[in-house]
């Protein structure tokens, strides 16, 4: 009995010690999620305010197209080397904080822009600033606790979804108060400043958290895999030839390709959803807007479910199961006879695809242990190529009709089956440990 009480006391002491150790890491996690939230808040606000922006600045449709294309291409090219040159540790922290300052300034400049040229310049500066502030914050989060990459990416995606939904709501609230769309951008700049201060305040805890993740809460080595990551990170940028070898041997290209393939049924599908509901399903524009709202709301629900699911299941197994489910639900959505049934299936399809981006992105970082900066640069490069996805769907719709173009997306789940099966856990592994050794 006494031995049992001693064991219980030791267990409680160990749990309390672990909780104390995790507090700085939790603060860093919340700061990182705030960064992603404000980034998607900008995007959601810009999309919702675009009709007002076009009216105020007297923009042509061609200029509206330039506002979407030029920042994406020019900003993407500027962002491309950021992950490589930022390095790790204190150097990366300086890049993150500098990028955050430019991020805040660009959002404020967009809200104050009085001409097309001013708005174009602000948005073009915003893209590489976002890459530096947001993408490097993401890479730091992935490095902090390697065994929880999938769970942290699920939370990251949830924060982004919340920001995307909050953007149109912010515009609606500002307009309901009788104010201009400009106030929404100024308010976001203030929120971005708060997120920047949170990241700056948790900077010291980040390195401490990473050190604990490598040694474990008891001071013991947490595993040879994480030790290898630490050694790799300490070695710095390997140079272009060695980097090519690392990329080839790591399998990172597989995850990059799968990320771009998955986007066809994520962002690209969402881009054409309202058009499909109006032109093919013969829905009223208001119903099409409801369809987009269903898509966004189901995305939030899927992200919440995924966070709980990844605490109990291997990320790759969850992903493969979701691929099979999406392969059934996408044709069901396209063939559903009524709008009510279509929207119901759409919600299910959105929840089914919720694991795709966070799990694939976590696997990309996991395939390059200690090289998260390289993963950021590779993501930027593949994102430029991924811009061909909407173009391909648009060309199919132009030549064969939108219904056939959407039907062509049914090939995406088949391609996603290239995801390797998850590893079977050994008897002594816990759920979080099982998730830590993939990639």
| Averaged pLDDT, groups of 10, the chain, 439 residues long | 48 48 69 92 83 85 77 76 77 91 96 93 91 87 82 88 86 88 94 94 54 40 41 47 66 86 88 82 78 85 90 89 95 92 94 92 83 76 72 82 90 89 47 35
**Token pair 């992935």 is at which residue?**
142
Q: What is the pLDDT of residue 152?
A: 87
**What are the angstrom distances between the C-alpha of 52 and each of 58, 79, 194?**
10, 29, 27
Is residue 109 helix, strand or coil? helix
Domain limits, the chain: 21-231, 233-421
pLDDT at 240: 56
Residue 149, CB half-sphere, CA atoms under 13 Å: how many?
A: 32
Domain 21-231: which CATH number of 1.10.275.10, 2.60.120.560, 1.20.1250.20, 3.40.50.410 = 1.20.1250.20
CATH number for 233-421: choose from 3.30.70.100, 3.40.190.10, 3.30.200.20, 1.20.1250.20. 1.20.1250.20
| Among 38, 196, 103, 138, residue whose Cα is nearest residue 373 | 138
Q: What is the pLDDT of residue 10?
A: 54
CA atoms within 13 Å, Cβ hemisphere of 83: 26
Fold identical between 21-231 and 233-421?
yes
Nearest CA among 169, 53, 184, 180 for reference residue 119:
53
Q: Cβ(412)–Cβ(405) under 8 Å?
A: no
Contacts of 233 (CB under 8 A, 6+ apart): 88, 89, 143, 370, 371
């Amino acid at each position: 009995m006494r031995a049992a009480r001693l064991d219980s006391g030791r267990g409680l002491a160990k749990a309390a010690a672990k909780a104390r150790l995790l507090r700085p890491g939790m603060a860093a996690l919340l700061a990182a999620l705030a960064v992603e939230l404000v980034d998607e808040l900008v995007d959601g606000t810009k999309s919702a305010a675009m009709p007002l922006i076009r009216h105020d600045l007297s923009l042509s449709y061609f200029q509206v197209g330039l506002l979407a294309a030029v920042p994406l291409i020019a900003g993407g090219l500027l962002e491309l080397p950021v992950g490589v040159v930022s390095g790790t540790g204190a150097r990366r922290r300086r890049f993150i904080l500098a990028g955050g300052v430019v991020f805040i300034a660009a959002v404020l400049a967009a809200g104050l822009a009085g001409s097309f040229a001013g708005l174009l310049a602000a948005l073009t500066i915003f893209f590489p600033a976002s890459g530096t502030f947001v993408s490097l914050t993401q890479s730091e989060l992935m490095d902090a606790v390697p065994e929880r990459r999938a769970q942290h990416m699920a939370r990251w995606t949830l924060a982004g979804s919340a920001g995307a939904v909050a953007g149109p709501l912010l515009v609606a609230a500002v307009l309901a108060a009788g104010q201009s769309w400009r106030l929404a951008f100024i308010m976001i700049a203030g929120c971005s400043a708060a997120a920047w201060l949170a990241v700056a305040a948790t900077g010291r805890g980040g390195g401490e958290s990473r050190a604990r993740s490598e040694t474990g809460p008891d001071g013991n080595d947490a595993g040879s895999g994480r030790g290898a990551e630490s050694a790799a990170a300490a070695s710095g940028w390997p140079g272009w030839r060695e980097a090519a070898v690392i990329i080839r041997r790591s399998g990172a290209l597989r995850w990059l390709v799968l990320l771009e393939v998955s986007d066809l049924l994520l962002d690209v599908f969402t881009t054409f959803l309202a058009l499909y509901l109006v032109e093919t399903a013969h829905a009223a524009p208001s119903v099409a807007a409801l369809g987009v709202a269903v898509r966004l709301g189901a995305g939030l629900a899927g992200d919440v479910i995924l966070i709980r699911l990844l605490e109990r299941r291997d990320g790759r197994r969850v992903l493969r199961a979701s691929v099979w489910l999406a392969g059934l639900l996408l044709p069901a959505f396209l063939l559903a006879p009524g709008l009510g049934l279509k929207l119901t299936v759409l919600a299910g399809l959105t929840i089914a695809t919720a694991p795709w981006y966070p799990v694939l992105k976590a696997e990309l970082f996991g395939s390059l242990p200690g090289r998260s900066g390289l993963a950021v640069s590779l993501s930027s490069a593949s994102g430029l190529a991924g811009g061909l996805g909407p173009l391909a769907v648009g060309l199919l719709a132009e030549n064969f009709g939108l219904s056939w173009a959407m039907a062509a997306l049914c090939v995406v789940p088949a391609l996603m089956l290239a995801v390797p099966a998850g590893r079977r856990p050994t008897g002594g592994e816990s759920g979080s440990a099982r998730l830590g050794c993939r990639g």
